[in-house]
């Protein structure tokens, strides 16, 4: 009898598994007549409901496992189900927010008249410095986001080294709004390579001029070598930038920012293109970007750090060297109309001021604090 009943259930196409006990107690024997057919239909409905519930459970477990796997990858293992659900909803929300932020920044930048170009064509950075440069470039993007409502800028990363570019792209920089990477490929790369090849030769020919521009007294062999290296870097930076649309089409708008300039920057005008050296010199080589400006024949300027901080009652040496992202943010804030003392007292790191107060200025050419200039730690 039981076997016959099992066969009947299977024939009805149900996929559920009935226990012998259930059949005996619920079906109560061989189904026959109208009431038996009702019981059969009821059993089928029940089986379908069970199937649906089980499928739902399977899907939920699959989603949870998926979330946990992703959480493990993101380093947030050990979450409760609620936390996992929260993570999922946060992820959805932040991707929505990211999309709307990107749109907002694009819209603002469309009306922007400020370009900040980081010239990364210098090959003087060590591997560690290149890592640091990539972080600073991310900092430039973050600064642009912070200041977007007041002075959005178009940021251009000019000919970064492959590993710098790779690190940025890994972080999604290829899709960041108002952040354009011009890679070392095609014509631009050829120019950069040609510049690199001729740099040493050009530097040798103009070593004395470069040293003078950098304010270095030639005589000591080490100082001479550094001046020659800085000159070679400057020439390389100039050659790589010479082919850019800004230098070709509107050289009058280009301002190379360099701590070694005699000229103090005051205003940031509409349409200006500020060029920052993509250099992280843990041991400062003076005059690299000044040499680039002199070679290109474009304007150059330094941030008025000493004067701005003096007006706030602080003393700091002229020629202080800041990180790329700090300089970029200073320009954005000046464009927004902030005054230099307010900008620089906020952005110049305290340790530079502390060092300046503690240490007497070193003599020219003595490593990183040359010419009394102080140095912002690139990794900080």
Ligand X SMILES: C[S@@+](CC[C@H](N)C(=O)[O-])C[C@H]1O[C@@H](n2cnc3c(N)ncnc32)[C@H](O)[C@@H]1O
| Residue ranges in contact with ligand X by CB under 6 A | 257-259, 276-277, 279-281, 284-285, 287-289, 302-303, 305, 320-324, 327
Name the nearest CA neighbour of 305 among 281, 287, 330: 330
Residue pair 376/326 in contact (Cβ under 8 Å)? The answer is: yes
CB of 123 to ligand X, least distance (A): 14
Strand ranges (E), 146-277: 154-158, 179-182, 254-257, 273-277
**In terms of CB distance, is 177 or 365 closer to ligand X?**
365
Cβ neighbours of residue 274 closer than 8 Å, sequence gap 6 or more: 114, 115, 116, 117, 255, 257, 268, 331
CB of 289 to ligand X, least distance (A): 3
**In terms of CB distance, is 160 or 287 closer to ligand X?**
287
CA distances 368 to 15, 72, 282, Å, are 78, 43, 7
For 294-316, give the DSSP string: HHHT-EEEB--HHHHHHTTT---
Rounded to whole angstroms, the Cα distance separating 210 from 228 reads 7
**In terms of CB distance, is 38 or 363 closer to ligand X?**
363
CB of 203 to ligand X, least distance (A): 14
CB of 95 to ligand X, least distance (A): 34
**In terms of CB distance, is 27 or 276 closer to ligand X?**
276
Rounded to whole angstroms, the Cα distance separating 324 from 69 reads 38
Strand ranges (E), 201-298: 254-257, 273-277
**In terms of CB distance, is 67 or 321 closer to ligand X?**
321
CB of 251 to ligand X, least distance (A): 17
**In terms of CB distance, is 287 or 372 closer to ligand X?**
287
- Cβ–Cβ contacts within 10 Å for residue 315, how many? 10
CB of 261 to ligand X, least distance (A): 7
Rounded to whole angstroms, the Cα distance separating 325 from 376 reads 11
Q: Which residue is nearest to ligand X (CB)?
A: 277
């Amino acid at each position: 009898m039981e076997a016959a009943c099992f066969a009947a259930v299977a024939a009805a196409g149900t996929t559920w598994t009935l226990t012998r006990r259930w059949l005996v107690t619920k079906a109560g024997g061989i189904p026959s007549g109208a009431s038996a057919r009702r019981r059969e239909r009821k059993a089928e409905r029940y089986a379908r409901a069970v199937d649906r519930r089980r499928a739902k459970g399977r899907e939920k477990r699959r989603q949870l496992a998926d979330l946990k796997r992703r959480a493990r990858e993101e380093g947030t293992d050990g979450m409760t189900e609620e936390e996992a659900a929260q993570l999922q909803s946060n992820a959805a929300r932040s991707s929505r927010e990211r999309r709307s932020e990107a749109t907002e920044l694009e819209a603002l930048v469309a009306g922007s008249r400020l370009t900040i170009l980081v010239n990364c064509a210098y090959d003087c950075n060590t591997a560690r410095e290149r890592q640091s440069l990539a972080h600073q470039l991310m900092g430039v993007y973050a600064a642009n986001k912070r200041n977007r409502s007041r002075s959005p800028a178009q940021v251009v990363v000019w000919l970064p080294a492959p590993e710098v570019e790779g690190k940025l792209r890994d972080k999604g920089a290829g899709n960041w709004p108002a952040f354009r990477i011009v890679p070392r490929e095609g014509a631009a790369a050829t120019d950069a390579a040609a510049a690199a090849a001729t740099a040493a030769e050009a530097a040798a020919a103009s070593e004395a001029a470069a040293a003078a521009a950098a304010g270095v007294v030639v005589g000591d062999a080490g100082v001479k070598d550094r001046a020659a290296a800085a000159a070679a870097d400057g020439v390389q930076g100039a050659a790589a930038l010479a082919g850019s649309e800004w230098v070709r089409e509107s050289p009058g708008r280009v301002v190379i920012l360099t701590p070694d300039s005699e000229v103090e920057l005051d205003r940031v005008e509409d349409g200006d293109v500020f060029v920052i050296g993509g250099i992280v010199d843990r041991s400062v080589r003076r005059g690299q970007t000044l040499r680039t400006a002199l070679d290109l024949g474009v304007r150059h300027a330094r941030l008025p750090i000493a004067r701005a901080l003096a007006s706030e009652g602080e003393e700091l040496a002229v020629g202080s060297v800041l990180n790329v992202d700090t300089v970029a943010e200073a320009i954005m804030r000046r464009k927004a109309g902030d005054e230099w003392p307010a900008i620089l007292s906020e952005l110049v790191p305290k340790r530079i001021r502390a060092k300046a107060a503690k240490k007497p200025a070193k003599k020219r050419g003595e490593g990183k604090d040359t010419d009394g200039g102080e140095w912002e730690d690139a990794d900080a």
